[in-house]
Amino acid sequence: MIEPGLFRSAGFRFGLVYAVLMTISAAALAMFLWWFTAGLLDRQTASAIRADAQGLIERFDEEGDEGGIKALVSTIEDRLAADVDDEAIYLLVDANMHRVAGNLDTWPSIVDTPGEWRQLQVRRGGMRSSALVFRYELPGGYHLLVGRDVQVRVQLGNLLTDALIWAVAIVLAMATAGAIIVRSLFRRTVANVSATASAIAAGDFAQRVKVSGRGDEFDQLAEVINDMLDRITRLMDGVRQVSNAIAHDLRTPITRARARLEEAARGAESSADLHAAIDRATIDLDGIVAVFQALLRIAEIEAGSRRASFQRVDIVTVLEGVADLYGAVAEEKGVALQVSHPRRLEINGDAALIQQAVANLVDNAVKFSPENGTVKLAAVLDGRRIRIIVTDRGPGIPEQDRLRATERFYRGDAARGTPGSGLGLALVQAVAYLHGGVLRLEDARPGLNAVLDLAWSENPDG
């Protein structure tokens, strides 16, 4: 069964590549085996024949023409007598092809040219047998045939060939089976990812790629995809949250501004009333714009594009700057702002954003600190983390609200009635995420401990 577009299926291609590779390697192995067994035997036989013939011819040459033949005949007979394995084959014939010596009766007709290897069937002692022979020409019209009986070797060779052919056939079958398995494995893994992707494309964002737990490449891929999906979900939630927030929290001031303007247009008694109404509406609009800008800024930070412009940021300077800016406000309120930090502390980041995050935390702390209280601003390097900790002695945030405190527009009970948009902590959290960190809100008993926990990185320039 050939499916349409089979060659376009990656699973099929992987299976095919697997099968071809396996067959090629099995064939290579078989050829190697053949070369080193049957081939080696053949080569050994040939070299034995050559050495044998060399000895005979030398013997012939030593004695000269007439004596040569006699010496040759006696040497052949000696050798035949000494051949216990009955493998050697000799035949010496004269110019008329009459047998002079040797253990073959007649000259085999197919051995017609000298200097060529021939494998032939011989009949010796009533038994058919295979022999490898070589023909030499001697002076005086004599011909010499030297050879070896290779019947056993031929049988061995056939056995080996059969075995190897069977082996290749089995390998081929196993390769095909393997290819099918590889293909289905591949399919199943891809199907896992692809099912998740289609579910998400259809709008079900809760779906995740299943992780087998083996920790292999597919698991790694699954984890990367799941991380990506988590991030997308977070961003989508952010967008949803923002649209909800815009719906709820921006409508109110817009309605207020609109009402003021309409009322002024309809019923202002004097131009002073009109001016006052317009001024108040302008202030409302400015507030809306500020909220809008804060929202956009959080969105910009969450998009992560600011990471491209990260530089070395001197945390000490940031802390001193914020303390300087808010020191006066704190003093005015009778709040003591205490700053502590190591002599030097640098990370890779966006200076303006870290500045704003710290400023937001200090702003909150000073705002909620009781009079004559203390606000502590501290930075510590702990292993590979930098912690910027802002502690106040204010009302704190009740435990059940702490997680929600970093949501956009969330305002705790304590914050109602104080100025603010409810976006400060959301921005701090976005900045923390951008710097590979988190914002933790802890109970300072009494008060709040806001911990900006950022990833510390060594200066790449040393």
Partner 1 sequence: MRILVVEDDRDVAGFVVRGLKETGHVVEHADNGRDGLFMAASENFDAIILDRMLPGGIDGLKILETLRAQKNAVPVMILSALADVDERVKGLKAGGDDYLTKPFAFAELLARVEALGRRGKAETTQTKLVVEDLELDLLSRQVRRAGQKIDLQPREFRLLEYLMRHAGQVVTRTMLLEGVWDYHFDPQTNVIDVHVSRLRQKVDKPFPIPLIHTVRYAGYMLRAEGAV
For partner 1, the closer CB: 306 or 408: 306
State in angstroms the smallest separation of the CB of 361 from partner 1: 12
Which part of the chain contacts partner 1 (CB under 8 A), choosing from 3-11, 323-331, 335-343, 432-440? 323-331
Q: Does 224 bind partner 1 (CB under 8 A)?
A: no
When binding is defined by CB under 8 A, the residue of 325, 338, 398, 458 that contacts partner 1 is 325
- Which residue of 149, 302, 346, 363 would you call a contact of partner 1, by CB under 8 A? 363
Considering only the stretches 69-77, 101-109, 337-345, 358-366, report the one whose residues sit in contact with partner 1 under the rule CB under 8 A.
Answer: 358-366
Question: Is 120 one of the binding residues for partner 1 (CB under 8 A)?
Answer: no
Pick the piece of the chain touching partner 1 (CB under 8 A) from 173-181, 269-277, 305-313, 409-417.
Answer: 305-313
Q: One symbol per residue from 416 to 435: x for binding partner 1 (CB under 8 A), - otherwise; what is it?
A: ---xxx--x-----------
Using the rule CB under 8 A, is 450 a contact of partner 1? no
Distance between CA atoms of residues 11 and 433, nearest Å: 39
Q: How many residues bind partner 1 (CB under 8 A)?
A: 30
Q: How far is the CB of 383 from partner 1 (least distance, A)?
A: 31
Q: Of 308, 299, 306, nearest to 235 (Cα)?
A: 299
Q: Which two tokens stand for residue 223?
A: 């984890």
Q: Is 260 in the site for partner 1 (CB under 8 A)?
A: no
Candidate residues 39, 157, 178, 321; the one interacting with partner 1 per rule CB under 8 A: 321
Residue placing its CB nearer to partner 1 in the complex, 327 or 437: 327
203 binding partner 1? (CB under 8 A) = no
> Is 296 one of the binding residues for partner 1 (CB under 8 A)?
yes
The binding site for partner 1 (CB under 8 A) comprises: 279, 285-286, 289-290, 293, 296-297, 300, 305-306, 309, 321, 324-326, 328-329, 332, 352, 355-356, 359, 363, 366-367, 419-421, 424
